[in-house]
C-alpha cells in the first residue's frame, strides 16, 4: 500500500511539473496561434464572432451604383492586398499572449474611431475583428483540455 502511494505521489509531482511547464511555455504559443487564426477568419466572415456573428456595416464602395469590377465585389476590410488581416501577430509571453497589428489604422477600424485630416475628419464605422470572444475562449479551453489530458495520460 505504501509503495502504491509513493508511486502515485511521484507520478502526481511529475505531472504537476509538466503541466506547469506547459502552461508557462507551450500554452502561450498555442493560444497566440489560435487567436490570430480566429481573428483572421473574422475578415473572411466580414464580422466579429462573439456569441454569434456580428456582421460589419456595409461599405459605400459596394453600395454605389457605379461599383463595378473587383472593388465592387471585394470583401469588407480586405483591400487589394489584405494588409490589415495579414498584419495580425501573436506574441507569446510568460503565461500571457499579446495579439497586435503594426498598422496604425487597425485601431480605427476595430474601435470605430475618428480618422482623416483636420479638414476632412470622419468617424470610421466600428468593424471589430479583434477582441474578447466566447468562441475563441472555447477554442482555447478545448486545446488546453486536450493538451493537459495528453500530458497526464503519458
Domain boundaries, the chain: 2-152
Residue 119 has which C-alpha cell?
479638414
Q: What is the pTM of this model?
A: 0.81
What pLDDT, in 10s, does the model give residues 8-23?
Answer: 788 888 888 999 999 9
Query: For residues 29 and 89, is the Cβ–Cβ distance under 8 A?
Result: no
Q: What is the pLDDT of residues 118-147, one digit of tens each?
A: 888 888 889 999 999 999 999 999 999 999
Cα–Cα distance for residue pair 62/78, rounded to 1 Å: 13
Whole-angstrom distance, CA of residue 34 vs CA of residue 137: 10
Per-residue model confidence (pLDDT) at position 94: 80
Please tell me the predicted confidence (pLDDT) of residue 65: 58
pLDDT tens digits for 32-68? 999 999 999 999 899 999 999 999 888 766 566 565 6
What are the C-alpha distances in Å from 46 to residues 26, 40, 82, 87? 31, 10, 13, 17
Amino acid at each position: 500500500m505504501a509503495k502504491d502511494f509513493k508511486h502515485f505521489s511521484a507520478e502526481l509531482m511529475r505531472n504537476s511539473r509538466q503541466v506547469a511547464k506547459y502552461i508557462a511555455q507551450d500554452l502561450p504559443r498555442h493560444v497566440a496561434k489560435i487567436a490570430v487564426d480566429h481573428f483572421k477568419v473574422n475578415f473572411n466572415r466580414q464580422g466579429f464572432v462573439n456569441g454569434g456573428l456580428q456582421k460589419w456595416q456595409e461599405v459605400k464602395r459596394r453600395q454605389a451604383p457605379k461599383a463595378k469590377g473587383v472593388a465592387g465585389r471585394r470583401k469588407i476590410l480586405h483591400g487589394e492586398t489584405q494588409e490589415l488581416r495579414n498584419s495580425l501577430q501573436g506574441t507569446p509571453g510568460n503565461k500571457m499572449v499579446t495579439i497586435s497589428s503594426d498598422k496604425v489604422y487597425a485601431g480605427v477600424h476595430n474601435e470605430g474611431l475618428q480618422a482623416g485630416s483636420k479638414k476632412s475628419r470622419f468617424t470610421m464605422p466600428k468593424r471589430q475583428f479583434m477582441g474578447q470572444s466566447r468562441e475563441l475562449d472555447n477554442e482555447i479551453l478545448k486545446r488546453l483540455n486536450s493538451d493537459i489530458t495528453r500530458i497526464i495520460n503519458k
